[in-house]
Structure 1
């Protein structure tokens, strides 16, 4: 039923879109006794996110990510939480980001809520509820005083880290009997439903996510630590370009950061350059220059050591470079006390502007550069800019005077004092301690709390292991003295005493205790396996009653199963399943920690994996329908949505088209096909308009497929991209056939054939007998050949359409079966998915299984509980080649769950909606048995188990690799819904004994009519 909104959008009376704002709203109302028993619904949404409480009970949070012009609203049934005959309270905390990131476009702060009661009055209208309360100017609001708005950006993908001072806020504000003080004000009305920037809200189109409490497995490490002296996180991007809050596009700048360091005694000091990325081009102290050669340590942790004489020292750091949106980490330590002062304090009044909210930092610049769109023409930074070159030579505070027009104080809003991330990864002293049994045992909640060892002269640090990767919300209950500081820091990986810190992500929460026993639930989603907890400033021991994660993901039953005679494959399947589950939120996300971003191309493979694990097509449809919303950013559709980063990866759009067709083939929903097809046509015709005179797609964009060093320039004719465009055009033709659109079917079929012909004419090398990787923008053919390009050619049917198709096809098949050593090899689990698809097309089951064992087995050997973004120590690891991988939980890597179900069990659909299914098991890789389950769309499942009966004459033990010389008997058992037509295809010459059990479908109507 369509909602008739009477509610108004409201906000607090302050700034429309404040940075990192947490604001609280509440409304009280009477709930008469006579109304008890009726259904009561609360509908609400907010910009950017909300947490809802009713009479002190935390009800839920949202809304799901969506475009601002189609903002989703949620609906909660709350009658069980109301108190008849008493005053009741609705309380909502709204977290407004005030910036764009990879899953949110900046709008303005706002809350919309409407309380509806089921009506039993014919005067009310059939089925129409009556509205009991709405957001208007009778609601009260206050900006959350306990939340530090200066907490740093987590990363360009995310909003902000979390700093909470529980001393400054009464946690009873959600209760019905709470008495608001004078700090609360009447909410300001923004406008009616439909006002800018939101449009008409749309009902939530997916189920609410789970919240499953998960407790730690053990304390992994205990230590006594002392922190470094001075840390700060500075938002240089927002400071240099205030308008950068409206976009998540990368920015470049030429600029300097300056401060004055005061010391009272001679001391040795260390400036840490930890995780500053490319924003360091040297520094100077009192005119003495230090460059890269002066650094100790290795990226991303590098250091410069100074000898400081008593007095004031002018420190100037060249921070020129590019940034997407993370904070700049400034950190310095010394045995003696240091003080940091603004250089403006040392200049005569009137020489330079001295803002009231100045910090210890000033900047010079930006001298040149600015926000740019990735891979689109933009002028390079002018590194020869004369003012920039002269500024690098400034040796003291007086040297700032000639640069008055370039100098600005960094405001307090953009400087987060005490950078919790740096304090978590860099310590002055660290002493490991044995873990008391009482602490270890108390990690699991019980009658007694875990008392953290206390030291009067140091902080205490615990590393807690949850046993596996999780994604959701940290929640804890502690008893602590007032003013004690708890720093929480999540990360993914430890092995034999070494850990991988989250460089590029400020994955922290600071909680300052109010005294006594308190509970806190973080509203910021996090992914982690390990949680480091550091207790600081405590004057007495801290007791932890529990620390847990509220595991939050798309609500799915784990229908898909797989087991076999190979324990290694079983483990690989398990980590693939867990990875996929963690990366299913309100959309598919690439990873639960670093990004939490819906990358459009990743989701194609993730959707297929999900079909075999969970059979959830609703989340897939939601993802696919979100994509065309980016057409206002680009007609080529963005590579991640909804996002403030206006970036295009053409392959990701082509994968989206392919995934749309695969969803139709999964569930047979023609209404979806009819809805989505115009959007497919819209973008494909824009791509076709970019074909050059040779009939090939030549485009300046992010022309990505694999992290490996294949030749895929951001400007030129990229072969794999053209090939996937052929497949997308063929998918469009197939869609047109489904919809009975003969004209469109003919058009896209012709376009696919023409493009295939152009690829075969211009992108084939007779000399190397392979498809070349690209033709550069200057017309130069690539001299690089890759396995990736040959794999894509086979998958897209390119060699099959060549004039000499027989020999060319055989050559490409040979390249894939026996990869030439001179070709670039597969470089990521994502690319392996396409490689396995090609091997399946060739029937190379043994090669596929062995590659899965070897590649994913490395992750198992390192103790992985989820699939990694990259293979261990992959040379193209962009974070750090010495790392095993960047992300340790990446959904694009979970392909084994699909291939083991589709090919080892052999369950594959032959008709849309799975009305006809092929069972073609493959006893490959030395397996002697396998069993498992595959979900069927619309309900039900197919169970398959097979077992080989090996003749004694072969002398082979079950489970060993073998090539039988005589037929082997397979016992095959199938359990399937009776409505599904099953076709069995035996493997090779194997004799198959089949037991097939058909199960009647138990429909809802059957359940309702059962006596």
Structure 2
């Protein structure tokens, strides 16, 4: 009875207090500022053998003085609590409140609450919590008032101030300042320990990431810790990429956690005489995203590839989408662009996409390409294009549009006399890691990305109601596309050539522009077939060895209906890494290499990343081109499902969307579909008309049928594949 009474009283108390805090508050800041700040913090954690390794590009900073305000119409007076990171003042209806209040009373009626915050070290941020007065992204903010006062002391009635919606990461604990943000950790133990020299090598069983914790540390002298994605790397005390050295002077045993998280599977810890260690474990650091997408099939090896790809991708999903967990841990735009696409078929975590796009872009003025790489600026635009397609989030596009304009203005200013782009001082033309890949002259690949980026500007200008600019970008896009086919298409080779040098096209044909031309849908149907035959399926064209560009090559083949071929390629390529013992997928894989050659890159014996985000592309390929799910209109308002077994006996999985999952099962005789969102269109290739209850089967063309999919319903279709 006593416990029951406590439960009843607690329930009554909860019911009474719940309405008081019915609306949820969050820490807010000037949009993009915390993203830039945290990316600076994260990217400057990189070390190489104990030395600080800074990024190659300009790093921006947050605005140090920011104004926040919002108008409220209160039915009754309200007590409002204030939490601020920085020095601040508070105004109600323009009247300052003395001191640094942590709680204020706002009278009933219409009022404007304003806070102005200064913070040089960290991002100016506020957390406001009342019953209805709460801080969220509906607040307006600016970094410059542009106000003036006349001789009488009157403040101007007009202002040139530009106010924008506040930014937020949904940080909802007022007692934890934004600058204290950290990813969560969980304790993990090693699975194997063996004695080596004056210490031990421990194996955590698979590639992982986190903080090493030393247990029972005691004595006087040095403890050295050598990290390795491979055992060979951990044992190579002179060549391993990352390490820690600790000078110890402890009489009593103590546990110690290393200050920086690192990537490893193996850890080799060696101590001088006089220093003892009981054992080591780790604190696994992770992004708390939800695994929503799934895939399983009749092929056990493919299932393993999918699971390892998903693990690889999760490891490289942190505060932002990064390239790899061992070496760079930087926000590279080309790597991140592929991560966005994988994300839409796994976590569907829109906030991480947005914060990565904001962090990459930084602040005006633009003085260089993103990451200093021409193609990476274009991938940034493409990331926004796809973000809108998958999420339907028009507000984010409108908010980031001015930053898109200024970057495009910078790019437009670097065209040559032919109206095309080529290398200029300060540029890095990357394309791919490939031997003897020319970057000279006007490279066709860069022009294709430029055209697509201009098409993105057309879309976003329309969403931002900038009709005049939309027309300008549309004209530019059409001009560039026209030049691409006038100047790079070689009729004899039935392909786009790689480049033009000194105003003359070269004879060199590479895969890059040609495969992008397929899934950009820039080719005619006849050109697509010719490119597939003469380029993509032609062994005489230089092969691609990085998962980075294999991503696009296999996508182009899938877009051409080559799923059986792509399935074999996935099993050979990613399965090849698994056969060599990979527990996560690599930055580069060349099956012709042997033994420790697989660990080499950049002229260093262990320079290669064995856990690289761009190695996880099967997630995207299997979701989009095998389960066959993709949006037709933004945010999956309408979508298509076109399953393609590609030689599998059966497959099943889920594709996440902003409003729920789309589930697909497909065998050689049956398809099952259900969806929590939008209106779909199931497209089936069948020798005879499919049979389904409760839905109409429409014949589109010979042996191709469509069935309308409505949300909340389950469909079971019999067909003859």
Under a length normalisation based on structure 1, what TM-score does the superposition of the two structures give?
A: 0.52
Any conservation in 2 of the 1:554–1:586 contact (CA below 8 Å)? Answer: yes
Q: Deviations over 1:810-831 (max 9, x none)?
A: 422322442241x211121010
Structure 1 pair 512–1000 and aligned structure 2 pair: CA distance change class (3 A) = farther
Aligned with residue 947 of structure 1, among 654, 667, 673: 667
Q: Does 1:971 align with 2:670?
A: yes
Structure-2 residue corresponding to 1:347: none
Provide the rounded CA distance (Å) in 1 between the counterparts of 2:592 and 2:376: 23
Q: Deviations over 1:573-602 (max 9, x none)?
A: 111101111111111110111111010121
Deviating more after overlay: 563-572 vs 196-205: 196-205
Provide the rounded CA distance (Å) in 2 between the counterparts of 1:593 and 1:990: 53
Q: Please give the secondary structure, in 1, of the residue aligned with 2:685.
A: coil
Aligned with residue 488 of structure 1, among 211, 221, 225: 225
Structure 1 pair 895–107 and aligned structure 2 pair: CA distance change class (3 A) = closer
* Structure 1 residues 439-454: aligned runs within 5 Å: none
Q: Does 1:865 align with 2:583?
A: yes
Any conservation in 1 of the 2:217–2:250 contact (CA below 8 Å)? Answer: no
Instruction: Name the count of aligned residue pairs.
Output: 575
Any conservation in 1 of the 2:325–2:611 contact (CA below 8 Å)? Answer: yes
Structure 1 pair 736–785 and aligned structure 2 pair: CA distance change class (3 A) = same
Provide the rounded CA distance (Å) in 1 between the counterparts of 2:494 and 2:39: 50
Structure-1 residue corresponding to 2:651: 930
Structure 1 pair 936–130 and aligned structure 2 pair: CA distance change class (3 A) = closer
Q: Deviations over 1:323-353 (max 9, x none)?
A: xxxxxxxxxxxxxxxxxxxxxxxxxxxxxxx
Any conservation in 2 of the 1:858–1:872 contact (CA below 8 Å)? Answer: no
Q: Please give the secondary structure, in 2, of the residue aligned with 1:660.
A: helix
Any conservation in 2 of the 1:945–1:972 contact (CA below 8 Å)? Answer: yes
In the TM superposition, residue 608 of structure 1 has moved relative to its aligned partner by 0.8
Provide the rounded CA distance (Å) in 1 between the counterparts of 2:577 and 2:236: 15
Aligned with residue 54 of structure 2, among 60, 76, 101: 101
Any conservation in 1 of the 2:224–2:243 contact (CA below 8 Å)? Answer: no
Q: Please give the secondary structure, in 2, of the residue aligned with 1:621.
A: helix
Q: Please give the secondary structure, in 2, of the residue aligned with 1:127.
A: strand
Structure 1 pair 71–844 and aligned structure 2 pair: CA distance change class (3 A) = closer
In the TM superposition, residue 901 of structure 1 has moved relative to its aligned partner by 1.5
Unaligned ranges ≥5, structure 2:
1-19, 66-76, 89-115, 127-166, 172-181, 695-708, 714-721
Q: Deviations over 1:356-379 (max 9, x none)?
A: xxxxxxxxxxxxxxxxxxxxxxxx
Structure-1 residue corresponding to 2:107: none
Structure-1 residue corresponding to 2:413: 689
Structure-1 residue corresponding to 2:248: 512
Structure-2 residue corresponding to 1:443: none
Structure 1 pair 792–521 and aligned structure 2 pair: CA distance change class (3 A) = same
In the TM superposition, residue 499 of structure 1 has moved relative to its aligned partner by 6.9
Q: Please give the secondary structure, in 2, of the residue aligned with 1:704.
A: coil
Aligned with residue 466 of structure 1, among 183, 197, 204: 204
Structure 1 pair 130–942 and aligned structure 2 pair: CA distance change class (3 A) = closer
Structure 1 pair 538–65 and aligned structure 2 pair: CA distance change class (3 A) = farther
Q: Does 1:638 align with 2:370?
A: yes
In the TM superposition, residue 69 of structure 1 has moved relative to its aligned partner by 11
Provide the rounded CA distance (Å) in 1 between the counterparts of 2:484 and 2:83: 63
Structure-2 residue corresponding to 1:819: 538
Q: Deviations over 1:468-498 (max 9, x none)?
A: 1112222232153x21533211110248x99
Q: Does 1:213 align with 2:187?
A: yes
Aligned with residue 543 of structure 1, among 265, 269, 278: 278
Q: Please give the secondary structure, in 2, of the residue aligned with 1:726.
A: helix
In the TM superposition, residue 195 of structure 1 has moved relative to its aligned partner by 5.7
Structure 1 pair 560–130 and aligned structure 2 pair: CA distance change class (3 A) = closer
In the TM superposition, residue 125 of structure 1 has moved relative to its aligned partner by 7.0
In the TM superposition, residue 217 of structure 1 has moved relative to its aligned partner by 1.5
Structure-1 residue corresponding to 2:450: 725
Structure-2 residue corresponding to 1:90: none
Structure-2 residue corresponding to 1:434: none
Structure 1 pair 885–486 and aligned structure 2 pair: CA distance change class (3 A) = closer
Aligned with residue 479 of structure 2, among 751, 754, 767: 754
Structure-2 residue corresponding to 1:127: 80
Structure-2 residue corresponding to 1:919: 641
Aligned with residue 744 of structure 1, among 469, 486, 505: 469
In the TM superposition, residue 504 of structure 1 has moved relative to its aligned partner by 7.5
In the TM superposition, residue 902 of structure 1 has moved relative to its aligned partner by 1.6
Aligned with residue 659 of structure 1, among 365, 383, 386: 383
Q: Deviations over 1:163-218 (max 9, x none)?
A: xxxxxxxxxxxxxxxxxxxxxxxxxxxxx953657674577626652212222111
Provide the rounded CA distance (Å) in 2 between the counterparts of 1:796 and 1:835: 13
Provide the rounded CA distance (Å) in 1 between the counterparts of 2:207 and 2:605: 18
Structure-1 residue corresponding to 2:214: 476
Any conservation in 2 of the 1:493–1:500 contact (CA below 8 Å)? Answer: no
Provide the rounded CA distance (Å) in 2 between the counterparts of 1:465 and 1:69: 31
Provide the rounded CA distance (Å) in 1 between the counterparts of 2:467 and 2:687: 42
* Structure 1 residues 497-536: aligned runs within 5 Å: 503=239, 505-510=241-246, 512=248, 514-536=250-272
Q: Deviations over 1:695-726 (max 9, x none)?
A: 2212322111111236342x531110111111
Unaligned ranges ≥5, structure 1:
1-37, 46-62, 74-94, 113-123, 137-191, 225-459, 640-647, 801-805, 949-969, 1002-1011
In the TM superposition, residue 530 of structure 1 has moved relative to its aligned partner by 1.0
RMSD, aligned CA: 4.1
Structure-1 residue corresponding to 2:618: 896
Q: Please give the secondary structure, in 1, of the residue aligned with 2:558.
A: helix
Q: Please give the secondary structure, in 1, of the residue aligned with 2:81.
A: coil
Q: Please give the secondary structure, in 1, of the residue aligned with 2:118.
A: coil
In the TM superposition, residue 104 of structure 1 has moved relative to its aligned partner by 9.9
In the TM superposition, residue 567 of structure 1 has moved relative to its aligned partner by 1.1
Could you say which structure has the larger radius of gyration?
Answer: 1
In the TM superposition, residue 623 of structure 1 has moved relative to its aligned partner by 0.8
Structure 1 pair 828–729 and aligned structure 2 pair: CA distance change class (3 A) = same
Provide the rounded CA distance (Å) in 1 between the counterparts of 2:384 and 2:321: 15
